Amino acid sequence: MALLDLKNLSIEYKLSDGKLKAVDDVSLTIDNGDILGLVGESGCGKSTLIKGIINLLPSNGKVTEGEVVFNDEVLNKLSVEDMRKKRWKEISLITQSAMNSLNPVYKVGKQIIEPMIEHDKTPKDEAMKKAEQLFELVGLEKGRLQDYPHQYSGGMKQRAIIAMSLALDPKLIIADEPTTALDVIVQSQILERINMLLNQYDGSMILVTHDISVVAQTCTKVAVMYGGKIIEYGDVNQVLKRPNHPYTMGLKNAFPSLVGDKKELISIEGTPPDLSKEIIGCRFAERCPFVQGKCRKGEIKKTSVKNGYFYCARAEERDELMKQADIPSTWESN
Ligand SMILES: Nc1ncnc2c1ncn2[C@@H]1O[C@H](COP(=O)(O)OP(=O)(O)OP(=O)(O)O)[C@@H](O)[C@H]1O
C-alpha cells in the first residue's frame, strides 16, 4: 500500500466570470522513503496540488474529481478538524510564508517543543534535547532556541520552521520551495540533512521546486507539471537522464548540471497556457519545437513506462526528438 496515492485528482477555481482548471487528472503514488520532486514553471498548478492534498484550498477552490488517499484514508473527504489533527504529526507542511507563522510573543524553542509535549507526550527535557538536535540539523546554534522570532533573520526563521516541521517525525513532509530564501550552498546542505533525517525513520517528502538541479540532487521520484497536468512522472534517474516529454527535455537544458561538464543553457521560449481557457490537445504545443498537427487534436494519450508515464503525441519518436532537443538551435523561436 502506498503512503500517498493521488487518483485522477482534478481541482478547479471558481472565477467571477467562469472557472479555471488548475489541476487536471493528476495521478501519482508516494511510498515510505520516497522523495518526490514536483517541478514546473510558475502558475502550472504545483501549489494548488499540494493545497488539495492537505485540504487547504481557498474557498473558491474545489476538488472536482478524484481522491487523495493517505495511509488508506481518503483525505479529501475528511472534516477540517480531522485534517487539522493530521497536520504536523502525519503530514507536515513547510512553505515560504510559514516563517511568518512563528508567534512573536514566544521564544522559538518553546514553539518547537510544545507540539512534541502536546502530541507525543514527550517529557520537556527530552523535547528540548530533540529541539537542539533539530537546530543543529538545520544549522542554527542551540542557544538561539532562547531567542524570540524578531531576533532572527528571514533565513534563520526559515530554518527554524524546517526544524519545527520535523519535530514530530511526520510520515510525509510537503515542502513548497522550502529553502529558496537561503543561498544555494546552504539550500543543498539543508536538503541533504532533511533527507538524512527522513532516512532514519523512512519518512517521505514532496519537494516543490522550479529548479530541476535540486530535484536531481535530492529526489528519488519526479513529477513534471505543466499547465495543470503532470506531463511526465517517474523515477528521477529515468526521467532526468532519459526524459520522454519535450518539456522535460527543455527543462533539463534550461538548468545547469550539478555534475559533469558545463554546457550552454537553453531557455524555452514563450509562456505556459492560460488555464481559464479550454485547452485542446497537448498543452505544451504552443512552445514545443516538435509540434505537429496531431499534437493539437483531442486528448493526448498517456504512455506508460517503468514506474511512470508521460503524455506526448509523438511518443514513438522519442529517441529522435531527444537527439534534436540536445541541439540549441532546436529551441530557437519556432
Ligand atoms: N485562489 C485562486 N483563485 C483563482 N485562481 C487561482 C487561485 N490560486 C491560483 N490560481 C490560478 O491557478 C493556476 C495555478 O496556480 P498555482 O499557484 O497552483 O501554480 P504554481 O505552479 O504553484 O505557481 P508558483 O510557482 O508561482 O507558486 C494559476 O493559473 C493561478 O493563477
- CA 323–ligand 1 middle distance (angstroms): 33
- CA 108–ligand 1 middle distance (angstroms): 31
Which residues have any ligand 1 atom within 6 Å of their CB?
13, 15, 20, 22, 40, 42-48, 58, 60-61, 275
E-strand spans in 95-167?
none
For residue 217, what is the enclosing H or E element? Answer: helix 212-218
Three cell numbers, residue 99: 516563517
State the average pLDDT for the chain. Answer: 90
Which pTM value belongs to this model?
A: 0.90
Percent of the chain with pLDDT over 70: 95
Mean pLDDT of 7-18: 96
CA distance 60 to 22: 12
Q: Measured between alpha carbons, how far apart are the two ends of the chain, in Å? A: 45
Residue from 52, 85, 64, 51 nearest 14 by CA = 64
In this predicted structure, the answer to whether residue 258 has a pLDDT above a threshold of 60 is no
E-strand spans in 189-293?
204-209, 221-226, 229-235
Q: Residue 235: which region, alpha, beta or left (left: phi > 0; alpha: psi -120 to 50)?
A: beta
Residue from 167, 173, 130, 139 nearest 4 by CA = 173
CA distance 232 to 73: 26
Question: What is the number of residues in the chain?
Answer: 334
> Measured from the CA of 225, which atom of ligand 1 is nearest?
21
pLDDT class of 190 with cuts at 50, 70, 90: confident
SS (H, E, C) 51-106: HHHCCCCCCCEEEEEEEEEECCEEHHHCCHHHHHHHECCCEEEECHHHHHHCCCCC
Mean pLDDT of 266-272: 84
The distance of Cα 253 from the centroid of its chain, to the nearest Å, equals 20
CA distance 88 to 225: 26
**Which residue lies with its CA nearest to atom 28 of ligand 1?**
43
pLDDT in tens, 200-211: 889 999 999 888
CA distance 43 to 54: 19
pLDDT class of 101 with cuts at 50, 70, 90: confident
In this predicted structure, the answer to whether residue 263 has a pLDDT above a threshold of 90 is no
Q: What is the per-residue pLDDT for 179?
A: 67
Mean pLDDT of 249-267: 71
Q: What is the per-residue pLDDT for 257?
A: 65
Backbone angles phi, psi at 171, to 5 degrees: -70, -35
Long-range CB contacts (within 8 A, 24+) of 143-147: 144/108, 145/107, 145/108, 145/109, 145/112, 146/107, 146/109, 147/107, 147/108
pLDDT class of 131 with cuts at 50, 70, 90: very high
In this predicted structure, the answer to whether residue 277 has a pLDDT above a threshold of 80 is yes
Q: What is the per-residue pLDDT for 151?
A: 96
pLDDT in tens, 112-126: 999 899 888 899 999
CA distance 234 to 118: 38
pLDDT in tens, 19-70: 999 999 999 999 999 999 999 888 999 999 999 999 889 999 999 999 999 9
Query: Which residues, listed in sequence order, are joined to residue 232 by a DSSP beta bridge?
Result: 224, 310
CA distance 271 to 55: 29
> Measured from the CA of 49, which atom of ligand 1 is nearest?
18
Task: Give SS3 for 232.
Answer: strand
Mean pLDDT of 151-171: 89
Comparison of pLDDT for 68 and 191, the residue scoring more = 68
Structural domains in the chain? 4-102+152-331 (3.40.50.300)
Q: What is the per-residue pLDDT for 262?
A: 60
- CA 284–ligand 1 middle distance (angstroms): 18
- CA 95–ligand 1 middle distance (angstroms): 15
Mean pLDDT of 148-152: 95
pLDDT class of 232 with cuts at 50, 70, 90: very high
Q: What is the per-residue pLDDT for 148?
A: 96
In this predicted structure, the answer to whether residue 214 has a pLDDT above a threshold of 90 is no
All residues at 6 or more sequence positions from 80 whose CB lies less than 8 Å from its CB, including other chains: 55
In this predicted structure, the answer to whether residue 298 has a pLDDT above a threshold of 60 is yes
- CA 52–ligand 1 middle distance (angstroms): 12
- CA 39–ligand 1 middle distance (angstroms): 14
**Least-confidence region, from 32-46, 178-192, 239-253:** 178-192
Backbone angles phi, psi at 218, to 5 degrees: -110, -30
Of 12, 47, 207, the residue with max ligand 1 atoms within 8 A of its CB, to mutate for a pocket test, comes to 47
**Which residue lies with its CA nearest to atom 3 of ligand 1?**
13
Q: What is the per-residue pLDDT for 323?
A: 93
CA distance 144 to 107: 9
> Measured from the CA of 228, which atom of ligand 1 is nearest?
14
Q: What is the per-residue pLDDT for 180?
A: 66
Residue pair 54/25 in contact by the 8 Å Cβ criterion: no
